[in-house]
Each structure stands twice: as C-alpha cells, then as structure tokens.
Structure 1
Amino acid sequence: MTDVFSPEKRSQVMSKIQGIDTKPEIKIRKALHSLGYRYRLHDKNLPGKPDIKLTKYNALIFVHGCFWHGHDCHLFKWPKTREDFWREKIIGNKKRDEKNEEKLLDKGWRVLTIWECALKGKNSWNLESLLERVEKWLHSEKYKLEIKGIAE
C-alpha cells in the first residue's frame, strides 16, 4: 500500500510527533503523583533526558514507546516502506538507549524502563499491579528494572 501523503507532507506529519508527554508517560506520572511521589521531568543534564527523575530514591524512569525504541513485542513491526531509513533510525535509538543507561548506572543512578506494551495492548498490566512493581523497585536496592507486557 502506498503512502497517502507526499514525502514532504509525511515528513511534516512525522516531525510533529513529540518525544515527551506521551500518553503512557502521563499515565505513569499521574499514577505516581496520586501515590504521593514527587519528581522532576526530563532532566536535560542527564544522559537520555529521563522522563521521570525521583531524586529521593536516586531513581530514573524511562517510559519507552515500543516502535521508536525497537522493542521485541507485539506492538512493534518493522515498517514496509523506507526500510533502510527505519532500520538505521530504530537501531540507532536502541544503541543510544543502551549507552545512556550505562552512563546513568555508572553515575550511580537506578534506572527503570517501562515499555509501552506494559500499559497498552493485549499483554498490558493492570495499572495497580504495574505500580506495585514500580513501588517495590523504588524501595529496593536494585539498580535496574525493565517492565514489559505480561507475556513478552
């Protein structure tokens, strides 16, 4: 199937996609706030500009979209058009994520990655169970955690 937009219009549409304040990110932020957690958003001084910074817990949370970060789950499919461009883009995102996480861990930060598939789709967690896992991690000594869809 051909694209319904011209290349110029497609570029304009894609440029409007925001990397911050996504629906999954806002869902996590609101839930954490309702539980009494206070945090900072998108600290530009830290590698990867974490979505949520909980200084009291020395913890950072990334809420990753499965497509943009190339997660191996049911929500991710390789695009059928401009395959070379998308492979380079998504693989580059994954490599950058790994480097940023390594830098943050080296600086003593604790890092939690919540994947979009944990919040939506056929394998999503109910929000209460997901938050229990987040809280357990926040109060633990673990440096790293990844939460993805239940069957992923």
Structure 2
Amino acid sequence: MVSYRGYMSPEYASEGLYSTKSDVFSFGVLVLEIVSGKRNRGFNHPDHDLNLLGHAWTLFIEDRSSEFIDASMGNICNLSEVLRSINLGLLCVQRFPEDRPSMHSVVLMLGGEGALPQPKEPCFFTDKNMMEAYSSSSTQPTITVLEAR
C-alpha cells in the first residue's frame, strides 16, 4: 500500500481511494525520479513552484524532455529509451486513474518499441498544496508519539 506522500496518487491523498491504479501512479513517480536523479518530495526549481511531476510535464509539453535527464547519465544512456521512460512515467501519473495504464500495460510498454500514447496532464501538488489537501480531507492522519520508559 502507498504510504509516502511523495508517491501517493491524488485520489488516495485527497479521498483515501486506493486501487491498482494507485500503484501505477507510484511507479510513475519512481520512474521520473530515476531518470531525473531527483526526488519528487522536496523538489525545488528556481523558475517555478511545481514538484518533479509538474516540472517533467512542463518540459514534456515544450518538447524539452532531454533537459529532465540527470546530467550524471552523460553519454552512457540511450536517449530514445530514456525519453520513452519519461513518456511512460507521465502516462502513469495522469490525474485520473482511468487514464493511467494498467501495470500489465506498463510492463508491455517498457519492453516494446512502438509509439506510446500522449499523456494527459498529471495532477501536480507542491508540498504546500499537498499539505492543504491533507488538512481539508475528512480523514486526518494519526500521529503516534513514542516515549521512552
């Protein structure tokens, strides 16, 4: 089950609705983190307040996805495969669960060579927006304080 808010699907974070598409969302976040070398949670960019997903989406729609790739990959990566991974990651983090592929489809897309569908805009939260979503939800997280005996 998804337990870390940087990887939670929007429907789980805001309404507590969990499905297999929630796992697909989390997988997409991981793919984007691996490609960029950065974490979604706590991501900062000097030009905007978007998280990593929003940054990936912005570069994708501007046809600048190559700027999203971690510089340490240098010339050791196959650019077309990495760009495909970004596209796939964005398919997995689409706003609505019904728009996300199944995990079975994700596996097939990872191994395939055909063109991938165009992703729709993901639901991006900044850390501040995520905290507001938590505080406005009807189910508040339980905090347990451990004390030494």
> TM-score under structure 2 normalisation?
0.31
Q: Per chain length, whose mean CA-contact separation is higher, i.e. which structure has more relative contact order (CA < 8 Å, sep 6+)?
A: 2
Greater strand share, 1 or 2? 1
What is the TM-score normalised by the length of structure 1? 0.31
